[in-house]
Chains A and B, each alone.
Chain A
Amino acid sequence: MNKKAATTTPVVFMAVASLIAACGEPTSAGSSGNDRANEQPDSPADIESLSGSVNLNTSGGVVDEIWEESWWARFMDETGVEIRTSSPADLSRLRAQVESGNVEWDVTEISTGGQYLEAVEQDLLTELDQERFREYFEQLGGDGDDLMPEAVATHGIGHAPFATILMFDEREFPEGEPQPSSVTDLWNVEEFPGPRCIHEQALYNLEIALAADGVDADDMYPLDVERAIGKLDELVPHIATFWSAGAESIQLVADGECVMSTVWNGRPFGAQNEDDIDYLGVAWEAGIMASSYWVIPRGAPNPESAYALLATYQLPEVGASTANQVGYGNTNTATDELIDEDARPFVATYGPNLEVLTVQDEQWWYEHGESAEERFSEWRLAQ
């Protein structure tokens, strides 16, 4: 190697190294300042004192458009802090950000309870200061007594509960004739023939399969995975495909690829409101209710604004605006009264719905989720 090459190579590496260092620099400087803020919140919670911008990461979709007008507009009015949004909710990226010390999100959604517990276990989240949250909430005009017990968890804010229910095509099973009345009617191929679509993960299937096999909601946990798989085996000849994104389930039924599909409860309601798709019937019986969470990543650049943003989310007006349009509220008891009469039947926490839903056991899924998914994939691949 000649002299020139010998000098060039290190230069290249130094340049690469300094570029990488430069990428990490601004945020790591920011987060070290915030660590101090996390440990000793010496300044009182005051929405007037907030500044800068806050990065919010959501799971995306139609609900973002509603939030923009209700939640985010309200927050910006109250605080003057600008909101930048991104999606989708991805735990893997959260971990990558926290571990590299390069945290980009001030608030992110975590889509399942099991994943939330996993994130707590891996120390990826800021522990919430309950008092501080309530102070912001009350400064915004909320009443702390209205918050449901699950509204403020140790490391996150309870998002709206959502349910995995059955959606069917009323063009196939019109009103006046027998219609599916339970998610377990997926198995009722005699009365309701035609292809079915189900979600691609065990998480949105096992409880339904067990209910179809006659297990009561009270005896559901711990889940008997093998029994559920056995029940799913019966369904195999009738499964057209598996869906993953929420919009896909609507698409599959609208296109006639399947006559019924499991679905997240806000989707058919949203499709009706946003896209005038009026032939989607739903059945709640034996559906699965679960929650997602809003969290503040450890080392978030602007944690004070994150608190205020989450507090705004729990305001009843904000929850009602989404519930009225897509069927997801928040975890504030005062919200229920503000939900329109005709939207209530589409909300998971609406009394008659709540009665027939199975509430998912987050702890079980946190402990056994991975092996259950592995078994589910194995089953899927054996077909």
Chain B
Amino acid sequence: MTPPARRFRLPRGLGFLLPALILVGAITVVPVVRIVMISFGDGLANYQELFQSGVFWSTLRITVEISVASTVVCLLLGYPFVYLITSFRENVARRFLLIVVTTFWISLIVRVYAWMVILGRNGLVNDALVGLGLVDEPLDLLFNRVSVIIGMVHYLLPYMILALYGGMVGIDRGLTVAAQTLGASPLQAFRRVYLPQSLPAVFAGSMLVFILATGFFVVPSLLGGPGEMTLSVYMERQTFFLNWGSATSSAVLLSAVSIVLFVSMDRLVGLDKLFGAVRR
């Protein structure tokens, strides 16, 4: 089965990779290393200070809450969509994906302002509700947790869909049919045959969306109310006072949380399955 052992050889044409490596090295690796170095500039002092700050813990909690909620909503919206389109012929499914991808053409700021127009006190929704006589006073739809999650889901849903599609397109629908011919109800067939196979995609999509969500700045700061101060907003505030120690250590901790989550998910379900799926 396994190919005979042979000397490891670098792939040909490595030179083509050099420009990309240099670029990534110069504009990603170097700054990240600098950030980590600044955060440990006074030993562990920055981290100790951070752990004692009530604001840090509150913003971390808010960041995790908002990110988890956005991830769950994306999953609930994305999974049925992908389940449906993966049952279509591939060229039809691709057309649906193309529509999903076109939403990337609209910048985040424009979308956020669009939501302000839609959800505002004199916005479309409130005008309609008041006009139809359903409510007397405009509802407070904007500047709260829900409006932040709406804005984030709007942006993150395509990522969830693409990740789910990559993992779920390779699942053989014939297996569910086979289960049903052997006496399983449609629900049983889905739960015991299809769902377990789609879990790696679910985890991968959730991980991707969650990690992206933890870094959001514009959406919580424009669509959020008093209580929607996320860790990235806190970091920006710290740099205002040139408090680089606190800002960088928050950034390092946030990245550490993401990395730990990613690695443990990988151990648990093997995310490589997902990335391998497209090759099938």
Contact = CB atoms under 8 A, between A and B. Distances in A.
B225 A241 contact: yes
Interface stretch (A61-69, A141-149, A222-230, A369-377): A369-377
B240 A92 contact: yes
Nearest to B225: A241
A122 B120 CA distance: 44
Interface stretch (A4-12, A45-53, A154-162): A4-12
A374 B241 CA distance: 11
Interface residues of B, number: 40
B9 A380 contact: no
A256 B142 CA distance: 12
Interface in A241-294: 241-242, 244, 248, 255-257
B24 to A, nearest CB: 9
A239 to B, nearest CB: 6
Nearest to B53: A374
A220 interface: no
B55 A92 contact: no
A2 interface: yes
B239 A92 contact: yes
Interface string B41-76: 000000000000111001100100000000000000
A377 B14 CA distance: 51
A378 B226 contact: no
Given A256-B122, A374-B55, A381-B62, A240 B10 contact: no
A132 interface: no
A359 to B, nearest CB: 22
B120 A256 contact: yes
B22 A4 contact: no
A366 to B, nearest CB: 10
A378 B55 contact: yes
Interface residues of A, number: 38
Contacts of B18: 12, 15
Nearest to A114: B241
Contact of A12 (B22, B62, B244): B22
Contacts of A248: 222
A186 B226 CA distance: 17
B251 interface: no
A369 B18 CA distance: 47
B120 A381 contact: no
Given A20-B26, A381-B58, A257 B120 contact: yes
B30 to A, nearest CB: 6
A118 interface: yes
B30 A381 contact: no
B234 interface: yes
B143 A240 contact: yes
A360 to B, nearest CB: 16
B15 to A, nearest CB: 9
B187 interface: no
Given A16-B26, A118-B241, A255-B116, A8 B53 contact: no
A153 interface: no
A369 B30 contact: no
B241 A373 contact: yes
B8 interface: yes
Given A2-B8, A5-B10, A255 B122 contact: yes
B240 A16 contact: no
Interface in A109-128: 115, 118, 122
Contacts of A373: 237, 240-241
A28 B224 CA distance: 43
B241 A241 contact: no
B62 A91 contact: no
Given A8-B10, A377-B229, A369 B242 contact: no
14 contacts: A2-B7, A2-B8, A2-B9, A4-B10, A92-B240, A92-B244, A122-B242, A241-B143, A241-B226, A255-B121, A255-B122, A257-B143, A381-B55, A381-B58
Interface of B: 7-10, 14, 18, 21-22, 25-26, 30, 53-55, 58-59, 62, 116-117, 120-122, 140, 142-143, 221-222, 224-227, 229, 234, 237, 239-244
Q: Which 5 A-B pairs have the closest CB atoms?
A: A241-B143, A16-B25, A92-B239, A381-B58, A256-B122
Given A115-B240, A381-B59, 19 more contacts: A8-B14, A19-B26, A23-B26, A92-B239, A92-B242, A95-B244, A118-B241, A122-B242, A239-B226, A240-B225, A241-B226, A244-B221, A248-B222, A255-B116, A255-B120, A369-B241, A381-B226, A383-B226, A383-B227
